């Protein structure tokens, strides 16, 4: 068990099970950047962004989604890493983030059914269950149920991307099994309706995740970090719940996992963006910020690896509370900060100097899904500004930012589809 008994440990190093040392307990958690260059590689913009975060004092930098399959992306402008991509841009990316001593891990992901139809009309999933969001369902591709060959291919893709990340100089990878993406879809009985060896009981639904962890660990060196991002719950009736999360972590205890990050939600129930406005008014300050902390403490009680909690943390006091024991339950080993670091990339340094909070503009609209899109658009605006060497602008007008983001997304969708057609033709030509 990992002792995180005092808030002062926020700036103490953390030694992972594989011996890797994280300089402090503050992690830059993953955010969707959509800032890749035209070839879906990390270019100058992402190097500039991660250089700022590396200078800002966070001990661990976890990238936004890096896609393991070129034909399955969470959005246009996403970074793709497979055997057809050159490694040099990834080496430069890792060097930029690590320049001041931070560790840098690559979050690797497959979206499964959470693919926008405008980006790609093709989608795979454990079962042919489409995304259902009132008023927005038609935006998503209709998925087909995966075959055994599809499943084996995906396991190989996660493994290959992990090995390439290690070659590029990253310190570890985080396997994304949360937020309703493919591995999360396998875990949930709402989206996994299979009756074969990959569905049914929780053990079978978790099989793909466990096999990926094993395959990755067998491919990389022992000192390379292997983490898993897991939902505390899907927050949907009949879905993956808190008891399931505890059970999956017990399974992961038997594997060589160095860090488990606890989050929650999906596109259909975007809990990762916080509580509804009416609930926020009644909640305590800590609950409004660290909204997965109680779940994470339950995970800590059974986990044999360090646990990190992510979800709205903005104040040093809240981060310190997360590390400390409460009501007989241990605290977490690390805190993940996402949105706040889009507005204050040097937040860890500010906390160390005694500054305790950062202002993050809130988008509270009646349509929660639309508010979630606006929140992400506002966040991505700040990331692009920092990538260009500018300061964040929290005063930006959310409706205008969302509109410009949608136009930018349309343009990048066209670019992605053209890139993918060319990549497929090139690959086909190389194999004939």
Residue 324 lies in a domain: yes
DSSP-assigned letter for residue 72: B
Q: Which is more confidently placed, 6 or 412?
A: 412
Q: Are 210 and 255 in contact (CB under 8 A)?
A: yes
Q: Are 75 and 116 in contact (CB under 8 A)?
A: yes
Burial class from Cβ neighbours inside 10 Å (0-12, 13-18, 19+) for residue 8 reads: exposed
Concatenated DSSP letters of 96-126: HHHTTS-EEEEEEE--TT--BTTT-S--EES
Concatenated DSSP letters of 7-45: GGGGGS-EE-TTS-EESSSEEE---------TTSS--HH
Q: Are 136 and 117 in contact (CB under 8 A)?
A: no
Residue 210 lies in a domain: yes
- Classify each residue of 105-139 as buried b or exposed e, where b means 16 or more C-beta atoms within 10 Å of its C-beta: bbbbbbbbbbbbebbbeebbbbbebebebeebeee
Q: At 188, list the tokens.
A: 């949930």
Residue 2 lies in a domain: no
Coil, helix or strand at residue 260:
strand
Q: Which residues have C-beta within 8 Å of that of residue 337, sequence separation ≥ 6?
A: 26, 27, 28, 29, 58, 310, 313, 314, 319, 347, 348
pLDDT per position as a tens digit, 290-335: 567 888 999 999 999 999 999 889 999 999 999 999 888 999 999 9
pLDDT of residue 395: 92
Give residue for tokens 């930006």. Answer: 396
Mean pLDDT for 32-55 is 97
Q: What is the mean pLDDT of the chain?
A: 90
Task: Please check the confidence at residue 234 and state whether its pLDDT lies above 80.
Answer: no
pLDDT per position as a tens digit, 392-421: 999 999 999 999 999 999 999 999 999 999
Coil, helix or strand at residue 76:
coil
pLDDT per position as a tens digit, 194-232: 999 999 999 999 999 999 999 999 999 999 999 999 998
Residue 36 lies in a domain: yes
What is the C-alpha separation between 241 and 283, in angstroms, rounded? 22
Residue 402 belongs to what domain range? 7-431
CATH of the domain at 198: 3.20.20.70
Residue 342 lies in a domain: yes
Number of domains composing the chain = 1
The span from the first CA to the last CA of the chain, in angstroms, equals 54
Task: Please check the confidence at residue 341 and state whether its pLDDT lies above 80.
Answer: yes
What is the C-alpha separation between 120 and 74, in angstroms, rounded? 10
What is the C-alpha separation between 102 and 23, in angstroms, rounded? 7
Coil, helix or strand at residue 393:
coil
Burial class from Cβ neighbours inside 10 Å (0-12, 13-18, 19+) for residue 193 reads: middle
Residue 338 lies in a domain: yes
pLDDT of residue 3: 39
Residue 1 lies in a domain: no
Q: Is the pTM of this model over 0.75?
A: yes
């Amino acid at each position: 068990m990992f002792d995180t008994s005092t808030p002062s440990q926020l700036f103490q190093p953390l030694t992972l099970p594989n011996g890797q040392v994280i300089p402090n307990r503050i992690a830059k958690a993953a955010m969707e950047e959509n800032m890749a260059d035209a070839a879906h590689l990390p270019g100058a913009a992402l190097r500039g962004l991660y250089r700022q975060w590396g200078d800002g004092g966070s001990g661990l930098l976890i990238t936004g989604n890096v896609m393991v399959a070129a034909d399955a992306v969470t959005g246009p402008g996403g970074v793709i890493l497979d055997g057809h991509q050159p490694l040099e841009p990834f080496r430069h990316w890792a060097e930029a983030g690590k320049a001041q001593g931070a560790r840098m891990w690559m979050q690797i992901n497959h979206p499964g059914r959470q693919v926008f139809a405008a980006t790609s009309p093709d989608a795979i999933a454990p079962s042919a269950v489409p995304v259902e969001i009132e008023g927005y369902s038609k935006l998503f591709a209709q998925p087909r149920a995966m075959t055994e060959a599809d499943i084996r291919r995906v396991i190989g893709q996660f493994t290959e991307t992990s090995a390439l990340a290690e070659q590029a100089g990253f310190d570890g990878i985080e396997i994304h099994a949360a937020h309703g993406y493919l591995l999360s879809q396998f875990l949930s009985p709402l989206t996994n309706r299979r009756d074969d060896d990959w569905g049914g009981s929780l053990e079978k639904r978790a099989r793909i995740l466990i096999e990926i962890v094993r395959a990755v660990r067998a491919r990389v060196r022992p000192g390379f970090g292997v983490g898993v991002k897991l939902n505390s719950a899907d927050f949907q009736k009949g879905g993956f719940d808190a008891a399931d999360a505890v059970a999956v972590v017990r399974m992961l205890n038997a594997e060589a996992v160095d860090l488990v990050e606890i989050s929650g939600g999906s596109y259909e129930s975007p809990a990762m963006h916080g509580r509804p406005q009416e609930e926020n008014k009644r909640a305590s300050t800590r609950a409004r910020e660290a909204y997965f902390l109680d779940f994470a403490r339950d995970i800590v009680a059974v986990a044999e690896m360090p646990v990190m909690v992510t979800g709205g943390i903005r104040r040093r006091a809240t981060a310190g509370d997360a590390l400390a024991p409460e009501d007989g339950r241990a605290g977490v080993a690390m805190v993940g900060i996402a949105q706040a670091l889009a507005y204050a990339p040097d937040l860890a340094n500010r906390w160390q100097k005694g500054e305790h909070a950062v202002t993050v503009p809130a988008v509270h609209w009646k349509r929660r899904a639309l508010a979630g899109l606006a929140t992400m658009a506002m966040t991505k605006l700040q990331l692009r500004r920092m990538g260009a060497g500018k300061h964040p602008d929290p005063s930006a007008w959310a409706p205008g930012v969302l509109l410009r983001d949608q136009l930018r997304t349309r343009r990048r969708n066209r670019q992605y589809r053209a890139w993918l057609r060319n990549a497929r033709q090139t690959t086909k030509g190389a194999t004939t």
